[in-house]
Amino acid sequence: MQNLNANPNTGSKPVKFFKNKDAAYEAAIRNKITLPSKTSSIITLRYLQDVFLGTEYSLLNKDTKVVNCATPPKKEILIQFVKEELAKKGEKRTFSVDKSHTPDVIYLVTLLGSLNPKHKIFAKDYVPAA
């Protein structure tokens, strides 16, 4: 197993976690954690470790709500909406995304719907800006 450092913000000591990203992803799924697609660029060993440590925001399957969105906005806009909803809720865990490490659109819509099922993108008349 790899010896990985925990999130530096927590001050915790290095911990032994998973052999690789695949093992960590499968463990998260077995533990009923809702995750982006395995092929999403955000799915790294570091990200998965932080989910298990509780420093990275994630949902349990029981807290996940599926809300229909016929035409979601661009990924960058969805990320901003999710960050705004997390801030409104006073969430302390991080939602670490950058240009090279992003979740897939389906996960972002699911996450947003779980945080705020009445968000404007779920309205019948919602059409994203061009």
Closest among 108, 118, 114 to 81, alpha carbons compared: 108
Residue 129 lies in a domain: no
Is 7 within the bounds of a domain?
yes
| Residue 4 clears pLDDT 70, i.e. is over it | no
Contact (Cβ atoms closer than 8 angstroms) between residue 91 and residue 56: no
The pLDDT assigned to 75 comes to 95
* pLDDT category of residue 2 using cuts at 50, 70 and 90: very low
Domain count, the chain: 1
Percent of the chain with pLDDT over 90: 76
- pLDDT given at position 110: 97
Q: What are the φ and ψ backbone dihedral angles of 101, each rounded to 5 degrees?
A: -135, 90
35 part of a folded domain: yes
Summarize the confidence of residues 74-96 as an average pLDDT.
Answer: 94
Share of the chain above pLDDT 70, in %: 88
Look at residue 56 and tell me if it is in a domain: yes
30 assigned to some structural domain = yes
* 19-78: pLDDT as tens digits: 899 999 999 999 999 999 999 999 999 999 999 999 999 999 999 999 999 999 999 999
Report if residue 130 sits inside a domain.
Answer: no
In a domain, 128, yes or no: no
Residue 79 lies in domain: 3-122
- Whether 25 is covered by a domain: the verdict is yes
Nearest to 39 by CA among 101, 94, 81, 95: 101
At 16, which helix (H) or strand (E)?
Answer: strand 15-16
